[in-house]
């Protein structure tokens, strides 16, 4: 039920679950979903959930669950709560859910097609990325001047940018996401 490609990393993990719920069963599904979310709030590593309800054009629920680490998600998926809730949901809906799992900040860049995925709080995302870029530009600008200051500016700039982007993508943002996850992804349920 999880994406094996995304679970080898540390840091927050987001799993998107879509279910088609017939209109006559929505009240039952809403009650089931409410019970699940109330119980999930007490799970270790649970960072919150967003629920996107059906529109006039479709009868699909999209639920976005966030956990602090892939291990927390895996623990939830092995839990009695998970198995009991899935068995109960199967009595309400006619089809199996579709699961899509992502780690870290990747949802900022490529949300799954056909879903309206809730983003982290935008001003917090901008503040965090701005602070990281600011520090990297100061540090690597000074280092570049000290070590390769006599190189042509376009080459020096290309090297500095490549190092900064690599550090942001593979080191700093995953590390910061893990430590600031509850600030970036506040716990809530949207209507």
Any idea where the domains of the chain sit in the sequence?
13-109, 122-184
**What pLDDT score was predicted for residue 137?**
93
Please state the pTM of the whole predicted model. Answer: 0.53
Mean pLDDT of 110-136: 73
Mean pLDDT of 102-117: 50
**What pLDDT score was predicted for residue 36?**
94
Q: How confident is the model at residue 105 (pLDDT cuts 50, 70, 90)?
A: low
Distance CA 63, CA 52 (A): 6
User: Torsion angle, CA of 152/154/156/161, rounded to 10 degrees?
Assistant: 180
Query: What's the start-to-end Cα distance of the chain, in Å?
Result: 26
DSSP helix/strand/coil, 152: coil
**What pLDDT score was predicted for residue 80?**
92
Mean pLDDT of 112-137: 76
Q: pLDDT per residue over 33-44, tens digit each?
A: 999 999 999 999
Q: pLDDT per residue over 53-81, tens digit each?
A: 887 777 888 888 988 888 999 999 999 99
CATH class name, domain 13-109:
alpha beta
């Amino acid at each position: 039920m999880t994406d094996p490609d995304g679970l080898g990393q540390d840091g927050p993990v987001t799993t998107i679950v879509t279910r088609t719920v017939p209109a006559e069963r929505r009240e039952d599904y809403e009650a089931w979903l409410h019970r699940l979310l109330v119980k999930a709030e007490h799970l270790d590593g649970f960072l919150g959930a967003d629920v996107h309800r059906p529109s006039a054009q479709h009868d699909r629920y999209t639920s976005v669950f966030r956990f602090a680490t892939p291990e927390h998600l895996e623990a939830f998926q092995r839990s009695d709560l998970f198995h009991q809730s899935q068995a109960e949901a199967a009595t309400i809906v006619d089809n199996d859910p579709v699961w899509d799992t992502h780690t870290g900040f990747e949802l900022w860049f490529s949300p799954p097609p056909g879903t309206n995925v809730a983003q982290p709080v935008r001003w917090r995302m901008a503040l965090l990325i701005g602070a990281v870029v600011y520090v990297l530009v100061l540090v690597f600008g000074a280092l570049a001047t000290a070590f390769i200051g006599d190189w042509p500016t376009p080459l020096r700039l290309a090297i500095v940018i490549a190092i900064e982007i690599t550090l942001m993508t593979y080191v700093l943002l995953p590390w910061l996401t893990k430590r600031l996850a509850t600030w970036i992804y506040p716990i809530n349920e949207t209507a």
